[in-house]
Amino acid sequence: MATVLELEGVSKAFGSLVVIADFDLAIEEGEAVGVVGPNGAGKTTMLNLTAGSLQPDRGRILHRGRDVTRSKPHRHCRAGIARTFQVPRPFGGMTVYENVLVAATYGASASGQAREALAAQTLESTRLTPRANALAGSLTLLQRKQLELARAWATAPDVLLLDELGGGLTEPELEALVATVADLRATGVAIVWIEHIVHALLSVVDRLVAIAGGRKLLDGDPREVMASPELRDVYLGEDPL
């Protein structure tokens, strides 16, 4: 399989606070990688760097071998790197369908019937077709998260970055969302998923990366990573980093 995304020696500091340090990560086509770590570990900063909303102080970000380190977020998106946010950000006064149509138009650069077909297919894939004509501002939390996922999916990505999708959901709602992510993953898209709800990750991902203190602590089989003493120490504070 080809490598679709690479972070090479990526570092980012805010003033004297180093948030990401010499971080390396390679994602293969169709691979699903989960990212865990305590609050403040640098997980979302890593995602923001990958999506282009932040630029690293050092290092490179490559998409299919092309250096996109200094590209703007919209160029990352059009190249095939899509992301969701922890807090959904729909256009509340627009319908669900209109929200997805905007993503298809400006993210996937689709037009005419192709744009409409992409939007319709996206709603079906993310289980939102019954809510297509509802105003986004009227949706439940689960539906808003589904719409957040749909707007990213409508850009036709080959890399999907997910940031804390499961937060605030009940267990049945989480199961529904995880099923949708699994369906999308089955299409061959590469996924990088930051999540505190570990059993959700374990049901989808092939690999788990643990981050602590802005550095990659572990990278490997999900259950082995979760069982490791190093990760336990980071979460329990027995070996502060």
Across residues 167-195, what is the average pLDDT? 96
Instruction: Please report the pLDDT score of residue 152 as a whole number.
Output: 97
Model pLDDT for residues 8-66, shown as the tens digit of each residue: 999 999 999 999 999 999 999 999 999 999 988 999 999 999 999 999 999 999 999 99
* Unique residue bearing structure tokens 């019954």: 130
pLDDT confidence of residue 135 = 98
Integer Cα distance of 174 and 83 in angstroms: 19
In order of their start, the domains of the chain are 3-80+157-236 (3.40.50.300)
